[in-house]
Amino acid sequence: MVTSKANETHTMYMNMKESLKQYVEYVGSEDEFSYKVRMEGEWDDDEYHRFITLLLAVIDDYKDTDLMPVPVMLFFTSQLNHLVGTISHPDFFNNTTKEYEELVNTRKTELLELQKKFFSGELLIKTN
């Protein structure tokens, strides 16, 4: 029996934990943090916190399994580096305040530390 691609996608989506469903929906939206940074060329700290909260919820929900969802892996292996590159460019700080630059640099440090903890496995330590 051949199943349709839509049927497979529906089944896959049904088997996702709620946190991953929310994360996938969020990263596909125009509100997604790194998309907004690229398109608007500015840091939105509220959206940053929303994104990190969703990301950490997925990690927490899946750390007791043997697999980490692909969208999370993609963030840490490629998207985070692209984001850091964008916010590290001097043009990102044109016409901004010193406080804004300090905030962005603090968040960049947080993101790189999160990536380090992910790659080291510290974020993935099982609770049982």
Confidence at residue 125, expressed as pLDDT on a 0 to 100 scale:
85
pLDDT at 126 over 70: yes
Cα separation of 53 and 47, whole Å?
A: 10
- Between the two ends of the chain, the Cα-to-Cα distance in Å is 39
Contacting residues for 48 by C-beta, under 8 A, at least 6 apart = 33, 107
pTM: 0.85
Strands, E assignment, 39-85: none
- Sign of the Cα pseudo-torsion (111, 54, 87, 71, in order): positive
Q: What's the pLDDT tens digit per position in 10-58?
A: 555 677 999 999 999 999 999 999 999 999 999 999 999 999 999 999 9
Which tokens is 13 given? Answer: 């989506």
